[in-house]
């Protein structure tokens, strides 16, 4: 099974174990996927956006594509719609770069974008790409403005004022895109 796993910036997991690309790791004993620290095994997610739930947004992380095998268990947080898996055998295939992360999130759809913007540190260019890709989804646009652009009053405004803020952001974005086309 292919999935995604978050690592600290130095390639270690949260317990300090270093993972190397193309190396296989094995965990003995019962494998249990559980939220919190009560599970056992190598944790991963099959949806990219879910990995960001398990790391503080202040942390610098790497995201790896992994191959899971052996004994596999999984757990669903139905309230927040997050899913985690635990396996006995894991192999780190590669690390994703930021562009790959953004493109995969956009392919996963709006619910993944909504999850990721809450915890992953996007740079300004990535934020603009996200905003451009959620046109037409009023609630998600407001979430992007809240989490990515620090527009903390967007949810307390009346609808007309919200539309003004949104239109202003899209006008800025469209001007930026037009300026980039002129330079090319």
pLDDT tops 60 at residue 57: no
Q: Give the pLDDT of residue 184.
A: 43
Average pLDDT over residues 13-18: 88
Domain ranges (residues) in the chain: 2-98, 122-183
pTM: 0.86
Would you place residue 36 in the very low, low, confident or very high pLDDT band (cuts 50, 70, 90)?
confident
Would you place residue 52 in the very low, low, confident or very high pLDDT band (cuts 50, 70, 90)?
confident
Would you place residue 56 in the very low, low, confident or very high pLDDT band (cuts 50, 70, 90)?
low
Task: Look at the chain and count its residues.
Answer: 184
């Amino acid at each position: 099974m292919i999935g995604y796993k978050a690592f600290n910036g130095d390639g270690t997991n949260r317990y300090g174990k270093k993972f190397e690309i193309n190396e296989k790791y094995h965990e003995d004993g019962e494998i249990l996927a559980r939220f919190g620290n009560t599970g056992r095994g190598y944790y991963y997610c099959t949806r990219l956006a879910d990995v960001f739930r398990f790391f503080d947004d202040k942390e610098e992380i790497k995201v790896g594509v992994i191959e899971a095998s052996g004994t596999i268990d999984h757990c669903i947080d139905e309230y927040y719609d997050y899913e985690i898996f635990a396996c006995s055998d894991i192999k780190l295939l590669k690390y994703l770069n930021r562009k790959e992360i953004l493109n995969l999130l956009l392919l996963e759809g709006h619910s993944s974008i909504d999850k990721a913007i809450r915890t992953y540190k996007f740079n300004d260019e990535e934020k603009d790409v996200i905003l451009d890709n959620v046109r037409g989804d009023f609630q998600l646009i407001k979430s992007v403005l809240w989490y990515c652009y620090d527009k903390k009053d967007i949810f307390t405004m009346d609808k007309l004022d919200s539309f003004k803020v949104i239109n202003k952001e899209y006008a800025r974005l469209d001007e930026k895109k037009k300026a980039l086309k002129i330079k090319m």
